[in-house]
Amino acid sequence: MCQLLGMNCNVPTDIIFSFTGFATRGGRTDHHNDGWGIAFFEGNGVRHFVDYQAAVASPIADLIKSCPIKSKNVISHIRKATQGRVALENCHPFVRELWGRYWVFAHNGDLKNFMPTLDGPYRPVGTTDSEWAFCYLLQQLRKRFGDRLPVLAELTPALQELTEEIASHGVFNMMLSDGSALFAHCATNLHYIVRQYPFAEAHLSDEDLSVDFSQVTTPNDRVAVIVTEPLTANEVWTQFKPGELKVFVDGMPIE
C-alpha cells in the first residue's frame, strides 16, 4: 500500500530533509512507484504538486528536494496503486474547498465496498477509493455544521466518528489539514516525532544524509513529523495506536 508523510510546525519550516528520505521509498528502497504528491499551506493558499511518475524518477520531486518551500502544514504521499489506474488524477494529496478554506487529504489503505451516496457538491475526479472517501468526509462535515466553521473542539469528535465509519470498510490511514491543524488517523501504521529544543542530529534510514538541527533552528522552533514508517535510524518515534486520531497544532499533538 501507499505511504504518508506530514509535517506540522509552530513556524514555517522546510521539509527537504524528511522528503528526501521519504521520496527514496517511491521506487528505490521500497516499491511505492505509482505516483506521488505533496501540498504546502502558505497563508490562505496551497502549493500543490503531483506526478504519476515514481518519486525517484520525477524531476518535480527533485525540485522539492532542492527548493526550501517553508510551511507550517505539509502533507505528502507516495502511491502503490490498489484502486484506480496510474494517472495524474489519482495521485494524492487531493485538495478541495470547505468553509472558505482549502483542505488537503491523503490516504494509505484499501477500502472495500465503500461507495456511499454523494449528494452534495463534492465529487471525485479520479477513480480511487481515497478520493471518494475524501469527498464523503467533506460532505458529511458540511451536513453536520452547515456553513459554520466549527471550532477544533467540535471538529475533532466529528472527524473521529467519520474516520471510524470509513475505517469499518477497510484500512484507513489518513492525513487531513486545513492549514491550521493537521489531523492524522491510524488504522494500521503511523508514527510521529516532535523535534524541539535542545535539537540534535538526525540521520535518514533510506539515504546517507544527516542534519544537525541545532545549526538550522532557533530554541523556539517546534516541528512534528508524522509518517507511515520512521524516517530516521537514530531518533525515537512514537507509534500511533490502531483507531487513534491525533490532532497536531503548532508542532505538538493536542489531547
Task: Report which of residues 55 and 84 the model is more confident about.
Answer: 55
pLDDT computed for residue 153 by the predictor: 96
In terms of residues, how long is the chain?
255
Stretch 238-248: mean pLDDT, rounded?
A: 97
What's phi and psi for 191, nearest 5 deg? -135, 155
SS3 of residue 121 by DSSP: coil
pLDDT computed for residue 131 by the predictor: 96
Reported as a single tens digit per residue, the pLDDT across 103-115 is: 999 999 999 989 8
Stretch 177-194: mean pLDDT, rounded?
A: 97
Which residue segments constitute the domains of the chain, with CATH numbers given?
3-110+171-254 (3.60.20.10)
Q: How many angstroms separate the first and last alpha carbons of the chain? A: 29
Backbone torsion region of residue 21, taken as left when φ is above 0, otherwise alpha when ψ lies between -120 and 50, otherwise beta: alpha
Q: How far is CA 100 from CA 52, 142, 180, in A?
A: 29, 12, 13
- Nearest CA-CA partner of 200 in 217, 182, 175, 179: 217
pLDDT computed for residue 81 by the predictor: 64
Least confident window among 31-40, 96-105, 143-152: 31-40
- Tell the residue number behind the cell numbers 483507531, with chain if given: 243
SS3 of residue 19 by DSSP: helix
Active site residue 2: yes
Active-site annotation holder among 2, 91, 135, 186: 2
Q: Does residue 155 contact residue 163 with C-beta atoms inside 8 Å?
A: no
Q: Grid coordinates standing for 44?
A: 490562505
Q: How far is CA 80 from CA 125, 139, 143, 191, 212, in A?
A: 19, 26, 32, 19, 32
Stretch 44-71: mean pLDDT, rounded?
A: 94
User: Please, which residues bridge with residue 174 across strands?
Assistant: 107, 185
pLDDT computed for residue 25 by the predictor: 86
pLDDT at 125 > cutoff 90: yes
Q: How far is CA 40 from CA 7, 192, 202, 207, in A?
A: 10, 19, 23, 23
pLDDT computed for residue 208 by the predictor: 86
Q: Does residue 129 contact residue 81 with C-beta atoms inside 8 Å?
A: no
The pTM of this model reads 0.95
- Tell the residue number behind the cell numbers 502511491, with chain if given: 79
* Whole-number Å distance between alpha carbons of 40 and 92: 13
**Residue 84 banded pLDDT, cuts 50, 70, 90:** low
